[in-house]
Amino acid sequence: MHRIAILSLALALSLMAGCAGDRSEAEGDARGEPASTQELQPANVPEGLRELIPLAEKWGIGDDVDRAALIERSSTEERQALTRSIAPHQDEITAWLDSFGTSPLSDEAAAFMYMQLAVEEMRYY
């Protein structure tokens, strides 16, 4: 149930992001240019998840095309390392995301949601 809610929210957010217009050069693109590095604020992340912030900064890309490009460029070892790193925290991440209810997610929560989505999408690579 939580996974469906996360994926539905991710789809809705990506559709909204698609309406935002053209990307600036700083945001990068699917041709291999890196997306701009997010700087997440540890104070906005539950203490038990803070060790995952560097992964969320890298993998928590809201743009579907850019996230897919990063996954495609990554090695099998990198993908496996991400999956192993967040697996023990999945329930805590999902509970945190659920705590927002119908309120907008913080930038940090959105990055964690997109990181979870990246792990799900890695199954296709």
| Residues ≥6 apart with Cβ < 8 Å to 100 | 106, 109
Residue type, 109: A
> Token pair for residue 11?
């789809």
Q: What is the pLDDT of residue 61?
A: 97
Q: What is the pLDDT of residue 25?
A: 33
Q: Where are the domains of the chain?
A: 2-19+49-124
Q: What is the DSSP code string of 87-105?
A: GGGHHHHHHHHHTTTTSPP
- Residue-wise pLDDT for 92-112, tens only, equals 999 999 999 999 999 999 999
Q: How far apart are alpha carbons 112 and 56 in whole angstroms?
A: 5
pLDDT of 73 strictly over 70? yes
pLDDT of 1 strictly over 60? no
122 pLDDT tier (thresholds 50, 70, 90) = very high
- Residue-wise pLDDT for 50-71, tens only, equals 999 999 999 999 999 999 999 9
Q: How far apart are alpha carbons 54 and 74 in whole angstroms?
A: 16
pLDDT of 80 strictly over 90? yes
